[in-house]
Structures are given as structure tokens and as C-alpha cells.
Structure 1
Amino acid sequence: MTHASALQSLLRAVKPLAASMSINEVADLFLAAEHRAFLSLPVVDENNRPLGLVSRATLQDIFMQRFGRDLRGRHPVGEVMNDAPLIVSLEASLEEASKQVTAQLQYPITEDFVLIDAQGGYCGLGTVLDLLKAMEARVAQRNRVLRQALVDLKESQAQLLQSEKMASLGQMVAGVAHELNTPLGYVKNNVQLLRELSEPLFELAAAQARLGQCLNDPDCDEASLSQALQAAEQARQQAAPELLAEDLQQLYGDTLYGLEQIAELVVGLKDFARLDRAMSEEVDLNDCIRSALLIARNHIKDKAEVVQQLGELPRIACAPSQINQVLLNLLTNAAQAIDGKGRIQIRSWADAQGIHLSLQDNGRGMPPEVMAKIFDPFFTTKPVGQGTGLGLSISYKIVQDHGGQIRVASEPGRGTRFLVSLPLPATAAMKRSA
């Protein structure tokens, strides 16, 4: 619906009055059925230009006076009309008309408003009640649109968050897969070597079994016995069991070490995701740091030396998988900010205000204009297709939801430092009660 048609729907086709009509004639018109819904009637000149409005309330005041109808009823209505009525152009929008009417409206409401065309000619009357109903309908319509937009926005936000989680999961899985491939590789090689070394032993066992059968067989002649003895000796020399013991022990040891590494990664991955634990539990944040370092090891090991300075921390209630997500994001960003071989320093400590985790790198750093935007959704300095710009935004929200703060300091060429602070239970309780 266009602006003009919106006001057109409010237009009441009321026949205008001439200024020469008497007050009594106009009063009779107010009693007519077609005029009962109106507070006033329009007066126009010979060129159909609005001169004013005659209010029902004004005529009632006159007729309430003693002999008012007889004394003034024959006077022209032009004497009692309001010559400065509310005039609204049909070209105005519904909002503009509402603003104009409400700005000039006087209470109690005793008049309607005049609608004119682009040339200033009288078109009809509009009532304040109709205007309010139209505005109410417009507001209701916009509320519906806004509600739907909010639903769509929440769905889009959920999809974007899921996309960021899947992107982080993809990076994490790629890193874990690479870490698993190394021990799996030499476990597989060791198993193949064990199979190759075991085959001569199986052949030796088979030759010795044939020799045993020959010795226990009364019909075995000397030639067959000699042949069985010779075959067993050849198999023994080929297997060389006295030389295999040390090799087998080393292979078993290496294989068990590789399996232990795989088990460590699996346990670390489970601890990182907290798949078998409650959404919120009391944890030592140092464990979260170690878990995140294990998962991020593939991203970091060729980029930076990690220096850990972890202090003794009290256990706090939090969602460990979410804190792990924050730490993994910060570690990954730190590694990506380093050109060549660098250094990442991780510190943790507790004081009266809470628990603090500091992660500092000596990478490229950021200028102030970039640092001011890093927590904004969709902001990224990475090439197109290599980052969603949601990692730090999600991290900021996670820390904020835990009642904490995440701050950053950076300088181009010197690196970046993130500080995550989470309140202790007593501190959080005092903040809530304050």
C-alpha cells in the first residue's frame, strides 16, 4: 500500500458547507445519519478551498445558552467556524499525517481534520479515531515483520555459530588426525615387521612338528628322519630365535608407546569436549589449558615454542568444553599470527578478584584500528574463505556468559596478549548481590 492510498483509505467523503449557511441549518445537518460519526463539518469557498471547520461542540455551547438558538441561529456559520483547522495533504505518508495531527491536536478532541489534494482543494474529512486505528494496524504489521525478522536473525545466528563450530571442529579434527597418524604409522610398521619376523618362527614350529611326528612313527625310516632333522635345523637357522628376542622386545616396546600416545590423544580429545561430563562442573582451568594444548599441538609445534607458567588455581564451576573452545581459538590465532618460528607464553594465576589466564605471542601484532574490532562478529583479517570472523566474537560471549572478561593488548611487530579473567564463586556472588 502506497502512502497516498493509506490516507485515501481514511478519507470520508463529506459534502462541504458554504460559509453563508446559517448556524441552525448546520445544526440540523449534524443530526443527519450520515454526519453522526463526525465531530465537525468542513466549510469551503467557491473554489473548493477549505475555509475552516464547524465543531459540533461549538454549536452545542451556543444552544446551551439561554435563547442561544433564537438569538444566534440565523447568523452565518462562518462566524463560529474554526478558521485554522487541521489540514493534511493526501500526498503525506501515514506516519507524517499522524505526526502532524498529534502535534497540533488539542484535548478534548472536538474536531476532525481536513484532507486536501496536491492543489490544495478540499477532498474530504479524516477522523482521529480512523487515523489511530490505521497507525495501530501499521504498528501491528511492523511488529509482525520485526518478530519474523528476529526469528530469522536468531536462526541465522544459530547457523553461523554452528558453521563456526564446524569450522573449528574441522581444524581440530585435522590436527588430531595428523597427531594420530604419526604413532599409527610406526605401530603399523612395527606390526608388519612382527609379522615378517614371525613367519620363520611359524615355519620352524611346523618343521619341528614334522620331526616330532617322524620320531613317534615306528614306520619312519632313517632317510625320512634325516630329512626331517635337516629341515628343522634349516628352519631354526633361518628363524634365529636367539637373535629375535631383543628385536621383538624393542618392537613390542615401540608399539606399546605408540598405542599409549594414541590413547593419550583420545583421552585428551574426550577431556577437551567433555563428552561424558556435565555441561557445568568444577574444574581446574590448568587442565583446560593442557587439554587445549594437546588438541592444538599440530597447529603450534612447527610455529612456536610453548612456555607454560601455570600457577596453583582453585577449582571453579564452568562449562569446560566452552572454556576449551576459547583457549583453542586463542592458541590457533596465536600460531597463525607468527611468521617463521615464534614463542607462545601461557600463564595462569589466581588472586582476590578471580582466576586469570594470559596467552601472549610474539607474532605480527595488530594496529589499534584492527584491535578495536576483533570482537565484532564477522570481522576478520584473514583472506576470504579462511575465516568466518566469529571465533573471537563467540569467545567473548562465552567468557561474558561466565561472568568474566577477555581483554587484549597488541602492538604491531611485537605481538599480542589476551587476558581471560573469570570470577571466583564468592566474587561472583558479591557482584550479583551488589
Structure 2
Amino acid sequence: MTTASALTRLLKPVVPLTEQMTIVDVADRLLTAEHKAFLSLPIVDAAGKPLGLVSRTTVQDIFMQRFGRDLRGRHPVREVMNATPLIVSLQTSLEEAARQITGQLQYPITEDFILVDSQGRYCGLGTVLDLLKAMEARIAQRNQVLRKALVDLKESQAQLVQSEKMASLGQMVAGVAHELNTPLGYVNNNVQLLRELSAPLLQLAEAQAALADCLADPGCDEASLASALEHAAHVREAAAPELLAEDLTQLFDDTLYGLQQIAELVVGLKDFARLDRVMSEEVDLNECIRSALLIARNAIKDKAEVALQLGELPRIPCAPSQINQVLLNLLNNAAQAIEGRGHILLKSWAEDDAVCISLQDSGCGMPAEVLARIFDPFFTTKPVGQGTGLGLSISYKIIQDHGGQIRAASELGRGTRFLIRLPRPLALPLQRSA
């Protein structure tokens, strides 16, 4: 729809009055059925150019006066018309027309506005109420478009966060695979040892079963019984079950420990990769720290010693996999910033209104101009192909969505420190018993 057609839909054709008409003529016209819906009537000259409007309110004021019809009724309409009415061109956009009219409108509304063509000739009347309704419909339509755009934006943002999460996880895949291979390796070795150690025990069980069968058989002669006893004794001596107890216990314990490590890695990967829907889960942030360290362990262990100073924390509502994503991103960045061998210090503590996490590394640090931009989307100092520039930007958005803050301080040659503050629910006052 063009801007002209938008106003054309508001246009209400009215037969204009001439300036030679009297006040009585206007009053009679206002009483007709087709004009009862209007607040005013237009006055035009011979060329069709609008001269003004006569409002219904003005005419009523005259005729409500004593002898008003007789005293003023035959006077020319020019005496009571508004010579400076609201005039809008049909070429004007709906929004601009609304700005013009509302900018000059007086309350209470006693007049309509005149619509003219490009030559300034009268085309019809427009009512303020219809204009407001049209604007309301236009705003509602645009709000609907904006709402859809907002929904699409949020979906795209969620997909972007998940994509960055999986990209971060992809960078850790080799390390995680190594972390899985280590316990898998000795679980496999232990199973092979158990198979070797259990073989003599199975032979002993077979020999003892043969001896029992011989003892239970009335037809078994002394030679067969002696042979069975000798074989069972030989197999028992070779198996030495009394010496295997300690070895088997150790092998089972080591195997279970390895399986437990594998299970922790799998659970950590699942928790990290899952897509959170709501932030309703009560979480101890120390658990998030340990989970992130578990995933990042292989990437960090050759670069830095990790020191933990974890305080006692209250559980707070949050999306744990999103917090894990932030911590993993910070740990990964810290490891990459360290040249040679360094250290990373992770601390957590509770304040009256917040739970805090601090991550400090002994890496190369950042100059002030880089530090000022680290949370900007797509900003990265890494070589092409080694970073998307979205990790810290998404981390900032995640913490912001949790109602928290994330700040950074850095100095060239001395490392970087990130501080995360997440709000904690206010404690309810204790109720005194009566």
C-alpha cells in the first residue's frame, strides 16, 4: 500500500460549502443524516481551494443563544468559520499526517481535518478518530512484525550460543579423547590380567569337580581316586588362590576407579553440551568449576598448574551448562595466553547479595586497547581460523542474562583476571515463634 492510498482510505467525501452560504444553511446541512457523523463542514472557494471549517460546536453555540437563529442565522458563514483549519495533503504519509495533526490538535476535539490533492484542491474530510485508529492498526501490525523478529532473533541467538558451545567443545575433543583413553587403557589392561589370573581358578574348579564326581561314584576305584586327588592338588598349587585375593581386590578397585573417571567425563560432556531451557535449577557454582576443569584438564595440564580456593557457596538458580560454557571459555583462553609453564588460580566466595568466581592466569596479558574490546562480538586477536571472536561476547551475554556481571583486568606481561558476580536470592527473615 502506498502512502497516498493509506490516507485515501481515511477520506470521507463531503459536498463542500461556498463562502456565500449563511449560518442557517450550514446548520441545516449539519442536521442531515449523511453529515451527522462529522464535527465540522468545509468551506471552499470557486476554484475548490479550502478556505476553512465551520464546526458543529460553533453553530450550536449560536443557536443555543436566545434569538440566536434570528439574530445571526442570515449572516455569511465566513463570520464563524475557522480560517486556519488542519490541512493535510494526500501525498503525506500516514505517520507524517499523524505528527502534523497531533502537533496542532486542540482538546476537546471540535473539528475534523481537510484533505487536499497535490494542487491544494479540496478532496474530502478526515476524522481524527479514524486517523488514530489507522495509526493504531499500523502500530499493531508493526508490533507483530517486531515480535516475530524478536522471536527469530532469540532463536538465532540460542542457536549461536549452542554453536559456539559446540565449537568450544570441538576444540577440546582431542584432549577429552585422551582423558578417556587413559582410564580406558588401564581398564582394558586390568580386564586382560583378570582373564589370565582367573584361568587357573577355572582349572582348579574343574579339577575339584572331577574329584567330587569320583568320590560320589561307587564304581570309582582307588587308582582313579588317587589320580583325581593328585591332579586337584597340583592345580591348586599352581593357582595359589590364597595369594590371588589381594591382587584381585586391587584389580577390581582400579577397574572401578577407571570406569568412574570415564563416567564423570561422559556426564560432564553431557551437561556441557545440553541446551538449557530455563534457569530454574538450584546449583552450587563450585560444581560448575569442577565440571569445567574436568573437560579442560587435558588442555591445561601441560600449560599450567591449577590452584583452587573454593569457598562455601549457597545454591543459586542458574543454567549450569551455560555457566560451564563461560568457565570453559575462560579456562581455554587462559591456557592459550600462557607461554611455557604458568599457573591458573580459581577462587569462589559468597557475598551478601552475590556469588563470585575469580579466574586469574599468569599469561601474557593484554594492552588497554585490546582489553576495552574483548567482549565485542567477532573481536579476536587470534590468527584466522583459530577463533571466532564470539566466546567472550557470548560469555558476557550469558552472565548478563543471569542478572550478573563479568569484568576483566589485565596487564601486559603479568596476566589477566576475570571476575564473575551472579546474584543470589535474598534470605528470608527468620520467623519468631509465639
Q: For the superposition of Structure 1 and Structure 2, which TM-score range results when normalised by the shorter chain?
A: 0.7 to 0.9
| Structure 1 residue 113: Cα displacement | 0.6
Three-state SS of the structure 2 residue aligned to 1:152 is helix
Distance 1:425 1:126 in 2: 56
1:100 has 2:100 as partner: yes
1:301 has 2:301 as partner: yes
Q: What amino acid does structure 2 have at the position aligned with 1:366?
A: M
Equivalent in the alignment of 2:216: none
Three-state SS of the structure 2 residue aligned to 1:316 is coil
1:279 has 2:295 as partner: no
| Structure 1 residue 203: Cα displacement | 10
Distance 1:121 1:106 in 2: 25
Distance 1:48 1:425 in 2: 71
* CA distance 1:171–1:111, change in 2 (3 Å): same
Equivalent in the alignment of 1:393: 396
The unaligned stretches of length 5 or more in structure 1 are 210-216, 226-235
- Superposed CA offset, 1:78-109 (max 9, x none): 22211111111111111111111111112222
Distance 2:56 2:424 in 1: 72
Equivalent in the alignment of 1:9: 9
Distance 1:80 1:367 in 2: 76
The unaligned stretches of length 5 or more in structure 2 are 210-219, 228-234, 275-279, 430-434
Q: What amino acid does structure 1 have at the position aligned with 2:100?
A: Q
The answer as to whether partners of 1:176 and 1:265 remain within 8 angstroms in 2 is no
Three-state SS of the structure 2 residue aligned to 1:111 is coil
| Structure 1 residue 36: Cα displacement | 1.4
Match of 2:315 among 305, 314, 317: 317
Q: What amino acid does structure 1 have at the position aligned with 2:43?
A: V
Q: What amino acid does structure 2 have at the position aligned with 1:152?
A: D
Distance 1:195 1:361 in 2: 47
Three-state SS of the structure 2 residue aligned to 1:363 is coil
Equivalent in the alignment of 2:184: 184
Distance 1:374 1:178 in 2: 31
Distance 1:321 1:28 in 2: 73
1:136 has 2:136 as partner: yes
* CA distance 1:40–1:120, change in 2 (3 Å): same
Three-state SS of the structure 1 residue aligned to 2:75 is coil
Distance 1:320 1:97 in 2: 49
Within a 5 Å distance, the mapping from 1:79-98 to structure 2 comes to: 79-98=79-98
TM-score, normalization by structure 1: 0.74
Q: Percent identity?
A: 63
The answer as to whether partners of 2:325 and 2:395 remain within 8 angstroms in 1 is no
Q: What amino acid does structure 2 have at the position aligned with 1:63?
A: F
- Superposed CA offset, 1:34-69 (max 9, x none): 211111111112222111112222222222233332
* CA distance 1:191–1:387, change in 2 (3 Å): farther
* Structural RMSD (CA): 4.7
* CA distance 1:5–1:338, change in 2 (3 Å): farther
Within a 5 Å distance, the mapping from 1:1-400 to structure 2 comes to: 1-170=1-170, 174-188=174-188, 257=254, 260-267=257-264, 270=267, 273=271, 279-280=281-282, 283=284, 288-308=288-308, 310=309, 313-318=311-316, 322=320, 323-348=323-348, 356-375=356-375, 378-381=377-380, 383=385, 386=388, 388-389=390-391, 391-397=394-400, 400=403
| Structure 1 residue 294: Cα displacement | 2.8
Equivalent in the alignment of 1:231: none
Distance 1:51 1:289 in 2: 78
Number of paired residues?
Answer: 412
| Structure 1 residue 24: Cα displacement | 2.1
Distance 1:203 1:3 in 2: 97
Three-state SS of the structure 1 residue aligned to 2:315 is strand
Q: What amino acid does structure 1 have at the position aligned with 2:66?
A: R
| Structure 1 residue 352: Cα displacement | 7.2
